[in-house]
Amino acid sequence: MSVQKFMKRSKARLADNTIKNRRIALTQYQEYLDRLGLELDEVEPYHIEDWIDELLLDDYAPRSIRAKVYCVSAYYEFATNRNLVSQNPVEPVDLSDYSDAKINDATEVRYIEVSEFESMVEDAILRDELLLRLLWNTGIRASESVSIKKSDIDRDNRKIEIKTAKSRKLKSDKKRKVYYNRRFGAVLRQWFDEGGRSSYLGVDGDDDEGHLLVTKQQPKMAVGRVSQIVHDRAESAGVQETVYTDQSGRPRRKVSAHTLRHSYAVHRVKNGMPLIYIQTLLGHSDIDMTRKYLQFRDDDVKDADKRYRP
């Protein structure tokens, strides 16, 4: 199928800004399909739903997500009219079900307590503890975590260079640095220096300079696997719960990889970190997005009122 023909047709009929947005959306969509090993004509509606979920987890606003999906839908309509595909997989998808407002209506808060996190890492295998403590310590996105390579980690200064996920190939290669504590440093030492990675992979010695997060099947963990590990550990710890069920019947869970990102922000604010620093560490271009992460429980507000009374 020719995306180039679709873009040529768009260029002849649409404004420059619309063309630019279509090109960006289709590039992102193609990158998603490449990760799944799918061709454009092999996509089912649930693949579109999963892509929307990925965009939500990468902090795209619902309005922006809808615009991207409409661009993809426009392409499939173009391809359908030319008998290049049998159907438009976007058409059955209810976009109203995918918004931050939906989960915010279902739960008052989007973070977990320190004790709940510690129960998640208790008895976890080393690889899973590595993942959980990485997300908890740094507040990075799941899609950013799977891109970290050993060379990105400065273990002497306990910091990691992150390529901000929302930059990808669509903007300048924006990078930021995040930092971790001694406990996570000890886990890294077990993973790299004390045979943890080699033992997990079932190899003798491990000189691989590749990705930090791996599976036994792949040299780079998939984003979906990150989400599954977080869900499973939350389930095992008894801190998982269903906050609502979407229209396709799939449960939406309270504790996800993104919950750990929210938790990162909330606990640092509670400890007194200025919001501007949190914005930088999370990689938000807009501080209003950072503010949206800060939903507190009533007892948090009550304690803060007592602490800051004159």
* pLDDT, position 56: 74
* pLDDT, position 184: 97
For residues 265 and 278, the answer to whether their CB atoms sit within 8 Å is: yes
Per DSSP, the three-state class of 249 is coil
* C-alpha distances out from residue 172 to 53, 164, 169, 198, Å: 24, 10, 7, 35
E strand or H helix at 281? helix 275-282
Q: Which domains does the chain have, with CATH numbers?
A: 3-98 (1.10.150.130), 114-307 (1.10.443.10)
C-alpha 212: how far from chain center: 16
Nearest to 30 by CA among 155, 149, 168: 168
Q: How far apart are CA 141 and CA 266, in angstroms?
A: 15
What is the total residue count of the chain? 310
* pLDDT, position 234: 95
pLDDT in tens, the chain (310 residues): 568 788 877 777 777 778 888 888 898 898 889 888 888 889 998 899 888 888 877 767 777 888 889 899 888 888 888 888 888 898 888 765 554 545 555 455 678 999 999 999 999 999 999 999 999 999 999 889 999 999 999 999 999 999 886 544 434 458 999 999 999 999 999 999 999 998 898 877 666 678 999 988 888 888 888 988 999 999 999 999 887 765 556 677 789 888 999 999 999 999 999 999 999 999 988 888 888 888 887 888 888 888 888 8
* pLDDT, position 241: 85
* pLDDT, position 286: 84
* pLDDT, position 19: 84
* pLDDT, position 21: 84
